[in-house]
Structure 1
Amino acid sequence: MSISPRLRRVVQRTAALLAAGVLLGSLPATAQAPASEAAVLAATFTDDFTGPAGAGIDSSKWHFETGDNVNNHERQWYTSGTNNAALDGQGNLVITAKKENPGNYNCWYGRCEYTSARLATQGQFTQTYGRFEARMKLPRGQGMWPAFWMLGADIGSVGWPNSGEIDIMENVGFEPNTVHGTLHGPGYSGAGGIGAAYNGPNFSDDFHTYAVDWAPNQIKWYVDGNLYQTRTPADLNGNRWVFDHPFYLILNLAVGGYWPGDPNSSTVFPQRLVVDYVHVTSSGTAGNTGRITGIGGKCVDVAGANTANGTPIQITDCNGNAAQNWTVGGDGTLRALGKCMDVSGGSTADGAPVQLWDCNGSGAQRWAISGARDIVNPQANKCLDATGNSSANGTRLQLWTCSGTANQKWTTP
């Protein structure tokens, strides 16, 4: 029996989730995760590249970054339009590197010999923490350099590498069986980046999934659901961890450069990076409403069900009233009684009290829910915390440096 390419990919994705243990049913009966520990994933960015053959990218999600790259001594010119990036009509985006004789663009070394494409979500989509995944079939040949990666959204103000860079997947053509995941930041950039390699099959022969799970002070890398690297601030040799703020996505296919080297007579053109999908998720489903429970099974509660600005937020016995009915907002807010969970005075200090306040769109009211069940205020890069590790009724909630302790773990609607 034959099935459509789209249905085949759905089956393959389900198999990958089972292999990764994302679906609870994939766990052995003796290892079922308790419901209180099951992370609910909400899609925050999805592109399945559906559309007719020859169609361009979805400009509401991506834009082209054009030109050459002197810093890496890459040899391509990145174009816009459909010449080097288009849908194939089978649910894929195809980024094509072409050899131009002679080229129509002036690169750093003269007339460009190659063209390709680079897509980014800067100014369109950013996120702090979550799962970032793409399913791709890589090009092959000396000089090819495909990448799926992220840059800190503050790059325009702080520059690179202070903005941070998370390379989810890079491959260089002379290593067809190896992909790399790397962090770049102040004191560990370029050739000094902190990372690891994953050795597997020839990645240009078929589609594979490449992902990171990013939580406060921890990033994990996966290929086809296989965890191969975990990085924390302890890996940075005393340098600064800069992965605590919004990042945006980049997909590109470079040709040549310091790392891959230039194409040679063995390289066949055109070469294609075929992308089945790009998915970004976070924990906590936007729009869901219900209780938030934490240490001791207690509920997050607005003290006295008082709607006044500044009312303390606490934990107490669950009672089902409106003061314990929280909505996960699509804008990153947590709302109850028509108002928002807020850090008093916009503070980023340990011990800053959490309160109810009119929703105002400020960073003090933004929360990111990680797969590890932390509720993080990205502005402070600190966690929602039950004061004193207490589960007593009336325990006030505050901000505190994320530590992974029970008083910082929450189950959200």
Structure 2
Amino acid sequence: MDSPRLLRRLLLPLAPLLTLAALSTGLAPAPAPAPAPTTAAVAPAPAAVTFSDEFDGPAGAAVDGTKWQTETGDNVNNHERQYYTAGNRNAALDGQGHLVITARRENPGNYQCWYGRCEYTSARLNTAGRFTTTYGRVEARMKVPRGQGMWPAFWMLGNDIGQVGWPASGEIDIMENVGFEPSTVHGTLHGPGYSGSGGIGAGYTLPGGQAFADAYHTFAVDWSPNLITWSVDGTVYQRRTPADLGGRQWVFDKPFFLILNLAVGGYWPGDPDGGTVFPQQLLVDYVRVSTGGGQTGSGPITGIGGMCVDVAGANPANGTPVQLYDCNGTAAQNWTVGSDGTIRALGKCLDVASGGTADGTRVQLWDCNGTAAQVWALPAARDIVNPRANKCLDATGGSSANGTRLQIWTCTGAAAQKWTVTR
């Protein structure tokens, strides 16, 4: 997608920390290679919920001010056409458990925009100064508007934006949709050297010509150190690690805040046309953040055929193969997932041999040494991913036989790459 998408601007001082007036997200991301979508269901693991808004309340009520603040003003940087208003006219509860962000063709307050008298109103909300998160599962169930010129988004910005500016702050776009692509949403990373049209991202398209405006859909990222995974309705369609950045800085290991908005027009979506019906609405059923949609625990790790991940011969020596074996409850099959990303048994770490990144590199037991070869991410899709290699733990040959060696391999969503960690 080469359509231009210029700077998004912060319209409201967020907090003493966030006094910067010019935020962004640069041009629309050019397509970047991404792993093929899988059909593996992303069922969130039990985890502590750190933020939740179910939007319960009487019809017409404003959003909870302890969770959200409302930005106001226009956006010249992106050449958007709307004026974001305060109060509950453009962002209100519907009394049925939804937040409704409404874009209208109107100007009741004689608002002035970059192009003259504003033609539209809408709303933009953020959690800066109220809630931030580092890692976890961030998701929203939403029904997007339809029509040329509509641009709904659910995204995050680094909380240090006031100190370092954009794009050094980093930006994680969980979901963006532009009206001329009714069946497609985009997920993108922006950071230093890969912002604007150089953003790293991919799109997801509904099958069979369905439109996202026809029904509610769940948009999520599972975010852990050195790995961010995007999904729609439980289908993973993109994973990104520092390896995707070509040596540029990964800026996604710090607190971020959330943003919800509905823009009208702009360089990327283009302006509304004669076929665009107003008002248009972005309906939000819920927004939730939990401490890791992925797996954690201490106990057996089971894979294809119900077989257990096993240290061969229960031997704690460096270089001992890690394999599949009948589950037997021994210490050789008792694994602990550490907060540092390690997976440990018998006092040692699951390790990619020689720090390899190639398909077929075997995994083994080795002294814990803090290297990237021993860091693993466990997103809710039930993959076990080595972020450095951007590859999945895999049973060789798709076999479930006793003694099957484990290796890393390009993530495909196959049964040989699906694991359950005991909690």
Q: TM-score, normalised by structure 1?
A: 0.64
How far residue 43 of structure 1 moved from its aligned partner, in angstroms, is: 0.8
How far residue 390 of structure 1 moved from its aligned partner, in angstroms, is: 2.8
In structure 2, the CA distance between the partners of 1:412 and 1:248, relative to structure 1 (3 Å rule), is farther
Contact 2:125–2:260 (8 Å) recurs in 1: yes
1:254 aligns with 263
Say which is worse superposed, 92-101 or 397-406, in terms of deviation: 397-406
* Amino acid corresponding to residue 151 of structure 1 in structure 2: L
Are positions 1:58 and 2:64 aligned together?
Answer: yes
In structure 2, the CA distance between the partners of 1:396 and 1:242, relative to structure 1 (3 Å rule), is same
In structure 2, the CA distance between the partners of 1:375 and 1:66, relative to structure 1 (3 Å rule), is same
How far residue 171 of structure 1 moved from its aligned partner, in angstroms, is: 0.2
Are positions 1:85 and 2:49 aligned together?
Answer: no
Instruction: Select the structure that is richer in helix.
Output: 1
1:359 aligns with none
1:132 aligns with 138
1:375 aligns with 339
Give the counterpart of 2:152 among 141, 146, 149.
Answer: 146
1:280 aligns with 289
C-alpha distance in 2 between matches for 1:284 and 1:398: 26
2:105 aligns with 99
Contact 1:164–1:185 (8 Å) recurs in 2: yes
Give the counterpart of 2:161 among 143, 148, 155.
Answer: 155
Paired residues for 1:4-403 under 5 Å: 20-22=41-43, 39-100=45-106, 104-200=110-206, 201-283=210-292, 373-376=337-340, 383=341, 390=348, 403=374
Q: Which has the higher contact order (CA 8 A, sep 6+)?
A: 2
Query: Over residues 305-362 of structure 1, what are the superposed CA-to-partner deviations in whole Å (9 max), with x where a residue is unaligned?
Result: xxxxxxxxxxxx99xxxxxxxxxxxxxxxxxxxxxxxxxxxxxxxxxxxxxxxxxxxx
Q: Matched residue of 1:69: which SS?
A: coil
Query: Over residues 132-173 of structure 1, what are the superposed CA-to-partner deviations in whole Å (9 max), with x where a residue is unaligned?
Result: 110001001110000000001111101001010000000000
C-alpha distance in 2 between matches for 1:57 and 1:402: 45
C-alpha distance in 2 between matches for 1:373 and 1:99: 53
In structure 2, the CA distance between the partners of 1:265 and 1:61, relative to structure 1 (3 Å rule), is same
C-alpha distance in 2 between matches for 1:44 and 1:276: 17
* Amino acid corresponding to residue 218 of structure 1 in structure 2: L
C-alpha distance in 1 between matches for 2:214 and 2:146: 9
C-alpha distance in 1 between matches for 2:72 and 2:338: 38
How far residue 374 of structure 1 moved from its aligned partner, in angstroms, is: 4.7
How far residue 41 of structure 1 moved from its aligned partner, in angstroms, is: 1.5
1:404 aligns with 375
C-alpha distance in 2 between matches for 1:139 and 1:21: 25
In structure 2, the CA distance between the partners of 1:21 and 1:258, relative to structure 1 (3 Å rule), is closer
* Amino acid corresponding to residue 104 of structure 2 in structure 1: K
* Amino acid corresponding to residue 279 of structure 1 in structure 2: R
In structure 2, the CA distance between the partners of 1:267 and 1:245, relative to structure 1 (3 Å rule), is same
* Structure 2 spans left out of the alignment, 5+ residues: 1-38, 302-308, 311-329, 350-365, 377-383, 387-420
1:5 aligns with none
Contact 1:292–1:412 (8 Å) recurs in 2: yes
In structure 2, the CA distance between the partners of 1:399 and 1:76, relative to structure 1 (3 Å rule), is same
In structure 2, the CA distance between the partners of 1:57 and 1:218, relative to structure 1 (3 Å rule), is same
In structure 2, the CA distance between the partners of 1:284 and 1:259, relative to structure 1 (3 Å rule), is closer
C-alpha distance in 2 between matches for 1:280 and 1:267: 34
C-alpha distance in 1 between matches for 2:109 and 2:71: 18
How far residue 412 of structure 1 moved from its aligned partner, in angstroms, is: 9.8
In structure 2, the CA distance between the partners of 1:385 and 1:373, relative to structure 1 (3 Å rule), is closer
What RMSD over aligned residues (CA atoms) do the two structures have, in Å?
3.5
* Amino acid corresponding to residue 237 of structure 2 in structure 1: Y
C-alpha distance in 1 between matches for 2:108 and 2:293: 52
Contact 2:348–2:368 (8 Å) recurs in 1: no
In structure 2, the CA distance between the partners of 1:49 and 1:115, relative to structure 1 (3 Å rule), is same
Contact 1:167–1:182 (8 Å) recurs in 2: yes
* Amino acid corresponding to residue 56 of structure 2 in structure 1: T
How far residue 48 of structure 1 moved from its aligned partner, in angstroms, is: 0.6
* Amino acid corresponding to residue 41 of structure 2 in structure 1: A
1:350 aligns with none
C-alpha distance in 2 between matches for 1:138 and 1:40: 28
Contact 2:154–2:173 (8 Å) recurs in 1: yes
C-alpha distance in 1 between matches for 2:69 and 2:184: 29
C-alpha distance in 2 between matches for 1:278 and 1:61: 11
How far residue 401 of structure 1 moved from its aligned partner, in angstroms, is: 5.1
* Amino acid corresponding to residue 204 of structure 2 in structure 1: Y
Contact 2:133–2:257 (8 Å) recurs in 1: yes
Q: Matched residue of 1:204: which SS?
A: helix
Contact 1:97–1:253 (8 Å) recurs in 2: yes
Give identity over the alignment, percent: 65
Contact 1:387–1:397 (8 Å) recurs in 2: no
C-alpha distance in 2 between matches for 1:125 and 1:258: 30
* Amino acid corresponding to residue 235 of structure 1 in structure 2: D
C-alpha distance in 2 between matches for 1:166 and 1:79: 24
In structure 2, the CA distance between the partners of 1:223 and 1:283, relative to structure 1 (3 Å rule), is closer
